[in-house]
Structure 1
Amino acid sequence: MIDRTPIQTRTTWGARIAAALLAITMAAMHDAAAADSDAAARPTQSSLIVSYRSTPAGRPALLRTLRAQLAPRLHTLQAQGRLTHYRILFSRLADANSWDALLILDFRTSAQAASWRAVDAETPAGLAATDLANVTAVESTPSDPVGKGGSADDGPDPVYMVVPYDYFVPTKDYVAYARSYVFPQTDGWIAAGALNAYQLYVARYGAGRNWMSMLVLAYHGDNGLDRRNDVIAATRKALNANPDWAARAAGKGHIRTEKAVMIADLIAGG
C-alpha cells in the first residue's frame, strides 16, 4: 500500500511520539518498581480467554450465536456483578491457523471467577448445547492481566490485532521485559493516535498451550491499523536513543517468539 500521508503530517507524528516517549521512559522504572509493592493492596484480578473454532461454513451461524445468545448472557452476568468486563471478538477472515472468535473475560475477585466456572458447567464456554453445534474446538486459558494502557473501553471504532507469543524466560523476567520494552512502544502508538488501547495477558498455566502470552491491540479504526508500520518505525527510532531500550530490542529474539496474528472486530463488550 502506497503511503500518501503528507510529509508534514508524518513529521508531526514523530514529534508527538518523541515528546510522549520522554515522559513514558522516565516513568517506566518507577511504575515497574511500584508494581510489586502495590500488588498486595489490589483485589484479586484474573482473566479467562476463550477461543472458539468453527468450520468455514459454520462461521455465519457462530457469529449469530455470539450476538444473540452469548452477548446477552454476559451482559446479564455483568449487571449482576458476577463479571467485571468482557469482549467478544470475531476474526475478519476464515483462517485455519487460528480461532474464529475470542472471548476475553476479566474478573475483579476470585468469587467472580468461581461464578463463571459455575456458568461453564451448565453452558460450556458460555454456549448452550444447540449453540455448540457450530463449534469444532474450544480452548479456555486462565490468564493474568499484566499491563494495559489507553481507553478503558478500547476507544472509538476499535479494530483489534491479537498477537500471541511464546516466551523462553521465567514469567517474572518476561513481564519485566514487557514493561521496559513493549509498553514504551505501545504507549508511543497511543501518543501518535494510531492505537486506542492495549492489554497484555500471560497464561497462568502455559505449558502445552497454543500461546503463553497474548497482546490485544485496539487500533483507532482501519486508518489506525493502516498507519501501523509507519508509527512503529517512528516510535522505535525515538526509543533507540535510550541505550537500555535499544539493548532490549537487540536481545528480544532470546526472550519470545511471535505466533499467528489475527485481525478481529468487536461483536459485543461491556
Structure 2
Amino acid sequence: MKNTAGILLGSIAVVVGAIAQHSLPDTVGATRIVITYRCNPRDRPVLLQEMRKNGERRFAQWKREGAIQDYLLLFNSFVDTTTWDMLSVISFSDYQQTDRWRDIEEVYPGGLDSALLRIVTPSATFLSEQKWQAGKNGDPTSALYMVIPYEHPDRGVYIDFVNSVLVPQFAGWMKEGAVRSWSILLNKHYPGKPWDILLLLEYDGVRGLSQRDAARAATEASLKTDAGWKLLREISSQFRNEYEVSTARVITPKQ
C-alpha cells in the first residue's frame, strides 16, 4: 500500500509540476505566529467585550512600538468545541523580530493580561510562514473570514498545486466580488499537527459569503477550458485533507 501511494504521489507531482503556471511572487520569510484560544461558552460575551475594550489596543500598541509588524484578531462566529473561540495571526518583518514576541509572552501569555487569562486560555501556538497572499483587506468591521486548516502528504507537491489551481481559482473569486483577500500559511514545524496549511479567506461580509457558490461556479466556468486546471481540481483530495472550517469576525476596538 505504501509503495502504491508513493507511486501515485510521484505521478501527481509530475502532472502538477508540468502545468504549474499561475504562481504569485514568493513571500518566503513572511513570518507569522498563529495562536488559538479557548474559553467556556458562558465567557464568550465577556471575552469579546474585553478584547474590544482593552485586548486589541494592546496589540495595536505593540505594533506602534515596532515589537510586531501587524496583527489579525478573529472571534469565532459560533461556539465550536472542536476548533477555537479566538485566533490571532501576528505578523513579523523577519524571524529575528519574533524575539520581541518571546519577551512579550513572558509577561502577557498569548498576548493577554491576567484579567483576560481568567476567562480564556491560549491553547496552541504555531510558527508559520505566509507563502501566498493576494487582494486587499477591506473594512474590518464588515469582514467575514473563513479559516480552513489542511494536512498535506507532500509540501513540494502542495506548493505546485496552490500555484496551479488555487491562485487562479481565488483570483476568480475576487473578480466576482465575493472574496476581498486571501492568504495561505505553512506550518514551519512540518509535518505539524493539527495542520500543515492554514487558509484564510476574507469575504465581503455576509453578502460576500452568500455569493460563494455563485463565484465558485462562475470561476470554474471560466477555467474549465484549462485542461490542466480541471484535472488537478478533480483530484484535489490527493493533495490535502481538509479539517474543521471556522467562520469568524475581526475583533476591532470599541468606539
Give TM-score scaled by structure 2 length. 0.85
1:125-204 correspondence runs (5 A) = 125-151=110-136, 153-155=137-139, 157-169=142-154, 171-204=155-188
In the alignment, the residues of structure 1 paired with residue 22 and residue 208 of structure 2 have an alpha-carbon distance, to the nearest angstrom, of 30
Q: 2:93 aligned to 108, 116, 120, which one?
A: 108
Alpha-carbon distance in structure 1 between the residues aligned to 2:115 and 2:69: 27
Instruction: Give the distance between the partners of 1:241 and 1:183, measured in 2 at CA.
Output: 16
- Is 2:35 the counterpart of 1:57? no
Q: Which amino acid aligns with 1:199?
A: S
Deviations 1:198-245 (A, max 9, x none): 111111114452211111111112111001011112211221210111
Partner of 1:248 in structure 2?
Answer: 232
CA contact (8 A) 1:55 1:136 kept: no
Letter in 2 for 1:168: P
> Partner letter of residue 53 of structure 2?
A
The correspondence of residues 21-32 of structure 1 with structure 2, limited to 5 A, is 29=21, 31=23
Q: Against the structure 1 CA distance between its residues 108 and 217, is the aligned structure 2 distance closer, same or farther, given a 3 Å change threshold?
A: same
Percent identity between matched residues is 27
Distance 1:31 1:155, change over 3 A: farther
- Residue 72 of structure 2 is matched in structure 1 by 87
User: For structure 2, which runs of at least 5 residues remain unmatched after alignment?
Assistant: 1-19
Q: Distance in 2 between matches of 1:106 and 1:258?
A: 24
TM-score by length of 1: 0.80
Amino acid at match of 1:98: T
2:193 and 2:45 map into 1 onto residues whose CA distance is 27
User: Does the 8 Å contact 2:109/2:122 carry over to 1?
Assistant: no
Of residues 221, 224, 249 in structure 1, which corresponds to 2:208?
Answer: 224
1:191 Cα deviation from its structure 2 partner? 0.4
Change beyond 3 A, Cα 1:30–1:182: closer
Moved more, 236-245 or 45-54: 236-245
* Pair 1:215-2:207 in alignment: no
CA contact (8 A) 2:23 2:167 kept: no
Classify the secondary structure of the residue corresponding to 1:130. Answer: helix
Shift of 1:136: 4.2
Secondary structure at the residue paired with 1:193?
A: coil
Alpha-carbon contact 1:159-1:266 (below 8 Å) kept: yes
Distance 1:45 1:202 in 2: 10
Number of equivalences: 233
Secondary structure, counterpart of 1:268 in structure 2: coil
Q: Does 1:261 align with 2:245?
A: yes
Partner of 1:8: none
Q: Which runs of 5+ in 1 are unaligned?
A: 1-27
1:152-191 Cα shifts (integer Å, max 9, x gaps): x34562111111111111x222122112111211110100
User: 3-state DSSP class of the match of 1:168?
Assistant: coil
Tell me the CA shift for residue 129 of structure 1: 2.5
Please provide the CA RMSD for this pair: 1.9
